[in-house]
Structure formats: structure tokens, C-alpha cells
Structure 1
Amino acid sequence: MTDGELDFAGQRIIVTGAGSGIGRATAQAFARRGASVLAVGRTPERLTETAEGRAGIHPFAADLTAEAGPAQIVAQAHERLGGIDVLVNNAGVVRPTPLGSVTGQEARRQFETNLVAPILLMQEALPGLERSRGTVVNVSSAIGQRGWPAMSVYAASKAALDSLTRVWAVELGARGVRAVTVAPGPTRTPVLANNGYSAEQAAAAMRTQAQRYEQLPVGRMAEAEEVAWWILAVSDRRRAAQVNGAWLPVDGGGSVS
């Protein structure tokens, strides 16, 4: 499959966490290939940057964890796009914290965003995905399958998201809906800065991750656009029709080394 073969003309896509990083790269990649994209995030200014110069991207600021958030997002997709062909559950919260320093508030925040919100959003989107015989892509993390220090809560929430993919693939396959996980390793994004870390703290964490990845097979961190390409690839309803319930690591070989 070459880049030029990915064509999403006329398709309707929801991408959460689209204000930066992997979500922004994914929304823009879908739009470049003809899709209409509802770009969802918490910060209107970042969503405006994602959509700038791209008529196919429709920004929508919403809180996924709010009680009415999932229903509002799906209503906007039907109103502005006319339906849903692909749901990309990308929004996530990460707070690296060693055991002994984890607070209930931070643990709940990560699980509410990384796990509960995708469940409730998928539940709202399901009728539309059934009509279109669509796909849900859960953006997980290779960290969920490895023992990374200070990542117990985040890793657990992402491992649970992987489980959702497997269950949904079995539960929804007969209804025409596929479920796939794309699991990035450390990727060059502003996720830590967006989650309350100072610029210095975020830079230090990224340096640590980069040093670890220098020892792995590919020898570098991923760029957001590399992960986005695979999200699009597994969303291709014709070429990826047999990809269901799969866990696809995009981590430079980190999960096997």
C-alpha cells in the first residue's frame, strides 16, 4: 500500500484530541485525502490551528469527560458531516507518577479520559457507524504492554483500551463495524506540555524517552505523521477489511525488544 492509494473522499471522520500531536496530524491527513473531519478537543485556539487552510476540517471544542460531551460530539458529526464512517479515539491524558505519589484525582482523570470517554463516545457513535459499516480506531500506547517506570496508571488505562478493541471486534463484527488499536511508542508531540508540565519538565521527559529509544531497533522516536499514516491505513474500509481486533504497534520495535 502506497501513500497515494489512501483515499477517503466523501468519508466522515471524528478525531478526538485533534488540537495537537497525533490527533492534529491524523485530522490533517484525513482531510488531505478528501475526508470531512470533525476535529474535537478542549482548546478552541488549537483546533483553529489544526483546521487553518483546510476546508475539510470542522473544529469542535468539547470536553469528552463531561456528561453531555459524547452526545454533543456525535450530534455535531451528523449535523456538520452528515454521518460517521470512522471514529478515532485519540484523546488521552498522561501524568507520569511513581507509585507512592499517585492521587485518586489524577488516577480518575486518566481513566475518565483514556478509557471511560472512548466507551461512551463509541456508544453514541455506534448507530451511525453501523449504518456506514464503519471503523473505530483506538489510539492506545505500546507502554500499555511494557513495564515503564512511573507509568502504572497510564499504562493500565491504555491496556484496558486495548481490551475494548478486542471485545468490540467480536461484539460488533456481525453488525459491520470493525475495531482496531494503533499503539504508538514515544512520539514527538507536546502531550506532556498539554497536560500541565512546564516546558522544562516536558523537555526533560522527552530527552529521557529519546535516550531510551536510541537503544531500540529503529533508534529514534516516532513523528506524529508516521503514526497518523497507520491510523488512516487501518481505516481503509476496502484494503483493511480483514483487520479487526488487531493491536498494531507503531513503536520502532520497542514492544518486542
Structure 2
Amino acid sequence: MKLQNKVALVTGGSRGIGAAIARRLAADGATVAVLGRHASAAADAVVAAIERAGGRAAAFAADVSDDTAVARVVGEVVKRFGRIDVLVNNAGIADMKFLGDLDRAHFDTQFAVNTWSVVAMTQAALPHFPAEGGNIVNVSSSLVQAPGTQLSVYTATKAAVEALTRAFANELGPRQIRVNAVAPHITATDMTSVIPREHLESEAALTPLGRLAQPEDVADAVAFLASSDARWVTGRTLLTDGGRV
């Protein structure tokens, strides 16, 4: 298995894309730290599914926008599993507002969760990467390439994530730490279940492959970037959108 004896930390790992990533990395042999904002039955269910399949995992809880909580939870993961080889910065929120309704709280909250958390988690995890290097995979969005109405701030947070991805790849390359990102379009999760069915059908029709993404579609791309199959890939954002953009 390509991630045998590796330890992976997945933020936002209790549901949706994050849960699929956690299950896929475990299937590839990684021991997985499933990080959610709160202790939850959902996180426990992801861990249970991994263990039933013969893998190893544990649930952890922290607000990734809180520096103190980030430092604490990374310490807990390392105490439990000894190190970190793969960090997946997946946690995020998406709140919709028209330009005229934007306010500072809306802006600050999304940048704290979607962008600053990438910095904070990476800073906290780096001392625990082994000497031979490792992998960081950030989750962006195809909206960076084709912004949508009412999602200007969310899109800006993800554009910043892609910029950080390129910059961190350059800085961490000498340590043999690769940094990449995936950029999915609308994915069938509980987060997107509130989108009107007509809009989802329209998006599927506009996608060359004729459907919406499933969380596993994105998880497979993350697993590729986290593996040695992508050993010569760093500083890149992989559009995982079925050709929609």
C-alpha cells in the first residue's frame, strides 16, 4: 500500500470530502487522524469505518481557526501516533452574500477558517514531519477559475490558498516536503445539499462528464498527490471538476 507506515492528519475529516479523504488514505495504508471542529458521532463513524476495513485511525477535535487549539491538537496527534507524514488542509466554510451585503465579520470568519488555518496547521505540523520529507495537500475550489455569484469572499479565500500552496512548495522543497492542492467543483455532500435541485441538475448538465462530483472523486486525487506517484509534482493545483471549468 502506497501510504503504509505513514501518518495522515485530515482537517474537516468528519464529513463530506474530508471523510472520503480519510477513508481513502487509510485504504492506502496510512494511519489517519480525523480532525473535526467538535467531538462528534460523525468523526467517530469515520474512524469506525476505517477500523472495520482493517485500518487505523482516531478522532480529534479542534477549531482550526484558533491557534491555541491547533497547537494543542497537533500535539495530541503526535503524542498518539508519533509523527505526521501527510497533512490535508480540507476544513472550510462557504457563506454566501452579495457584494452590497458584505461585512467585516463575513470576511474575517471565512479567511480565518479557509485560509489562516492552512498557515496555522502547516506551521504546527512542520516540526513533526520526518527528515525524509512528506506531503501537504490543500483543498481549494474551481471557483478560483470561474467565480460564482454571492461567493466572492469564499473564492478569494481559496485563491489565497492556491497562492500559499505555490509559496510553501517553494519554501519547503529543500526539506523534500511537497505541497499541492486540489480544486473541486460542486461535490455531492451535506454542505451542498441545500443548493436547489434545479441548480445541481444544471451544473451536472454543464459538466462534460455529465454528473456532479462524489467525495470519493476528490479523495482519489488527494491520495495521488500524497503518494510517491506524484513525487515530481509540487506547487500545483489540480482541477478536480469533471471538466466543468
Q: What TM-score, normalized to structure 2? A: 0.93
**For residue 199 of structure 1, what is the aligned residue in structure 2?**
none
Alignment of 1:220 onto 2:215: no
Select which of 220, 223, 229 maps to 1:239: 229
Q: Secondary structure of the equivalent of 2:238?
A: strand
Gaps of 5+ in 1: 1-5, 194-201
Change (3 A) 1:11 1:208: same
* AA of the residue aligned to 1:90: N
CA distance in 1, matches of 2:71, 2:36: 14
Say if 2:153 is the partner of 1:158. no
Quote the offset at 1:61 in angstroms: 1.2
Alpha-carbon offset, residue 151 of structure 1: 0.8
Of the three residues 239, 242, 245, the one matched with 1:249 is 239
Deviation at 1:96, TM superposition (A): 1.7
Q: In 2, are the aligned partners of 1:44 and 1:61 still within 8 Å (CA)?
A: yes
Instruction: Give, in whole Å, the separation in 2 of the partners of 1:84 and 1:50.
Output: 19
CA distance in 2 between counterparts of 1:147 and 1:12 reads 35
Counterpart of 1:186 in structure 2 is: 186
Q: How does 1:69-148 map to 2 (within 5 A)?
A: 69-129=69-129, 131-148=131-148
Q: 1:13: which partner in 2?
A: 8
Cα shift at 1:212: 2.4
Q: Structure 1 residue 39: deviation in Å?
A: 0.4
Q: Deviations over 1:43-70 (max 9, x none)?
A: 3222112112433121001111123122
Shift of 1:207: 4.1
Once residues 241 and 44 of structure 1 are traced to their aligned partners in structure 2, the CA distance between those partners, rounded to angstroms, is: 34
Cα distance change on mapping 1:114 and 1:243 into 2, 3 Å? same
For 1:211, the equivalent position in structure 2 comes to: 202
Q: Distance in 2 between matches of 1:22 and 1:125?
A: 21
1:134-165 deviations in whole A, cap 9, x for unaligned? 01000110111212111100000000000001
Tell me which amino acid in the other structure corresponds to 2:234.
N
**Counterpart amino acid of residue 41 in structure 1:** G
SS in 2 for 1:71: helix
Q: Secondary structure at the match of 2:206?
A: coil
Equivalent in the alignment of 1:58: 58
Q: Deviations over 1:210-244 (max 9, x none)?
A: 412312211211000111011001100x2211010
Q: 1:207 to 1:228 in 2, by over 3 A?
A: farther
**Which amino acid in 1 is paired with 2:47?**
A
Please state whether the residue corresponding to 2:50 is helix, strand or coil.
Answer: coil
Q: In the alignment, which of 37, 45, 49 is matched to residue 49 of structure 1?
A: 45
Q: Share of identical aligned residues, percent? A: 34
Moved over 6 A (4+): none
For the aligned residue pairs, the C-alpha RMSD in angstroms reads 1.5
